[in-house]
């Protein structure tokens, strides 16, 4: 009788453990990051870690490696593809599929209302990028929004608001068509300089400006060498939350929802912080003696319309006609 009772008790406890998750093994996740410890992106990684570990009752154990400790974003992305690294919050390289440059298309958005709309989980941009990532063995979970980019220069730009006017500035652009073609179409002469050498290039005159960086990055990294800043809102600076697809597929639907809910909350938070930081760091630049140039809503709309009419068609071969045609429909 005692053996029978003991047996029933063992079975009952086993079922209880299985149902409650107590018997599940701890899932250990290494998450790479590219930003320094004090950066808001890194802070969000630690917030993610804390939320997931707490909500899962310790079933997930997440170790954050910021500041490129596990390699730069190109190396990290490949590791996630291979499954030799579990997660990351990084910029997206395009060497595995050039269509991933969609996230860098100029005037993909022109204000924060559009950020909130077009970067929603059910939007065209997220669905398209998500599908491309999945074919590479990577699951896109969401975005960390950092700010709307502008151009920073060491000399004033003539006719900055006129997209058709020839500009008097030699502008550094990243080695991607989405940046170069846009600057060319706005009348800038362009040069490609590695980002690690950009400060020295601006200091020595090898380049007279650079494109893409939001106010916070421009202020923190280049305020000592630039004289003017132009808030074009031309590019959205962001990183992506990524996880190995095979690992993701091994999660229960409940755990997948938990991950997605936490990241959705952090994406919304990052958008609000980015909008606040844009305003705050424009003012910091003014206080540092930098001439800050902003544009009216009408001027920004004209710049965006010109770019979509002029530059976007030149990206069709690289990003495919299907993607660019569908993207154009979002603004009709």
Q: Is the pLDDT of residue 4 over 90?
A: no
- Residue 103: CA count within 13 A, CB half-sphere: 24
pLDDT band at 233 (very low <50, low <70, confident <90, very high): very high
Mean pLDDT of 186-207: 94
Output the pLDDT for position 331: 84
Phi first, then psi: give them for residue 16, nearest 5 degrees.
-60, -45
For the stretch 288-322, pLDDT in tens is 999 999 999 999 999 999 999 999 999 999 999 99
pLDDT band at 53 (very low <50, low <70, confident <90, very high): very high
Alpha-carbon distance values, 293 to 29, 74, 188, 324 (Å): 44, 34, 17, 30
Mean pLDDT of 241-270: 98
For the stretch 90-129, pLDDT in tens is 999 999 999 999 999 999 998 999 999 999 999 999 999 9
CA angle at residue 256 from 253 to 259, to 5 degrees? Answer: 155
Rounded to a whole number of angstroms, the CA Rg of the chain reads 23
The full 3-state SS of the chain, as one line of letters, equals: CHHHHHHHHHHHHHHHHHHHCCCCCCEEEEEEECCCCCCHHHHHHHHHHHHHHHHCCCCEEEEEECCCCCCCHHHHHHHHHHCCCCEEEECCCCCCCHHHHHHHCCCCCCCHHHHHHHCCCCCHHHHHHHHHHHHCCEEEEEEEEEEECCEEECCCCCCCCCCCCCCCCEEECCCCHHHHHHHHHCCCEEECCCHHHHHHHHHHCCCCEEECCCHHHHHHHHCCCCCEEECCCCCEEEEEEEEEHHHHHCCCHHHHHHHHHHHHHHHHHHHHHHHHHHHHHHHHHHHCCCEEECCCHHHHHHHHHHHHHHCHHHHHHHHCHHHHHHHHHCCC
What pairing do the DSSP bridges indicate for beta strands 236-244 and 87-90?
antiparallel
Percent above pLDDT 90 for the chain: 85
pLDDT band at 23 (very low <50, low <70, confident <90, very high): very low
Mean pLDDT of 166-189: 95
Whole-prediction pTM value?
0.88
Output the pLDDT for position 118: 93
On average, the pLDDT of the chain sits at 92
Mean pLDDT of 322-326: 96
Q: Is the pLDDT of residue 216 over 80?
A: yes
Stronger pLDDT, 75 or 3, i.e. the higher one: 75
Mean pLDDT of 36-45: 92
Could you tell me which residues are beta bridge partners of residue 88?
32, 242
pLDDT band at 19 (very low <50, low <70, confident <90, very high): very low
Output the pLDDT for position 24: 59
Q: Cα 4 from chain centroid? A: 59
Mean pLDDT of 233-260: 97
Please state, in angstroms and rounded to a whole number, the distance separating the CA atoms of residues 115 and 111.
7
């Amino acid at each position: 009788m005692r053996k029978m009772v003991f047996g029933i008790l063992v079975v009952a406890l086993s079922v209880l453990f299985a149902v409650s998750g107590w018997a599940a093994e701890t899932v250990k996740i290494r998450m790479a990051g590219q930003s320094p410890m004090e950066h808001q992106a890194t802070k969000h990684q630690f917030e993610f870690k804390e939320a997931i570990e707490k909500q899962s009752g310790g079933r997930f154990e997440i170790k954050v490696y910021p500041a490129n400790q596990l390699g730069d974003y190109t190396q990290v992305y490949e590791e996630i593809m291979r499954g030799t690294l579990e997660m990351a919050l990084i910029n997206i390289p395009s060497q595995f599929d050039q269509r991933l440059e969609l996230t860098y298309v100029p005037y993909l958005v022109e204000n924060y209302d559009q950020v909130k709309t077009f970067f929603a989980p059910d939007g065209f941009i997220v669905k398209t990028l998500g599908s491309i990532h999945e074919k590479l063995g990577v699951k896109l979970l969401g975005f960390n929004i950092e700010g709307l980019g502008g151009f920073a220069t060491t000399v004033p730009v003539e006719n900055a608001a006129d997209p058709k006017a020839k500009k008097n500035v030699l502008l550094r652009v990243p080695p991607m068509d989405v940046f170069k073609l846009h600057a060319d179409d706005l009348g800038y002469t362009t040069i490609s300089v590695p980002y690690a050498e950009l400060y020295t290039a601006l200091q020595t005159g090898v380049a007279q400006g650079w494109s893409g960086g939001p106010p916070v990055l421009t202020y923190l990294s280049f305020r000592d060498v630039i004289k003017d800043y132009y808030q074009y809102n031309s590019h959205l600076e962001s990183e992506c939350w990524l996880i190995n697809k095979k690992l993701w597929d091994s999660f229960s639907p409940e755990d997948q929802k938990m991950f997605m809910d936490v990241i959705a909350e952090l994406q919304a938070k990052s958008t609000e912080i980015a909008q606040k930081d844009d305003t705050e760091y424009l003012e910091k630049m003014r206080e540092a003696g930098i001439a800050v140039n902003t544009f009216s809503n009408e001027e920004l709309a004209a710049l965006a319309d010109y770019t979509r009419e002029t530059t976007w068609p030149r990206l069709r071969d690289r990003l495919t006609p299907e993607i660019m045609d569908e993207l154009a429909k979002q603004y009709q």
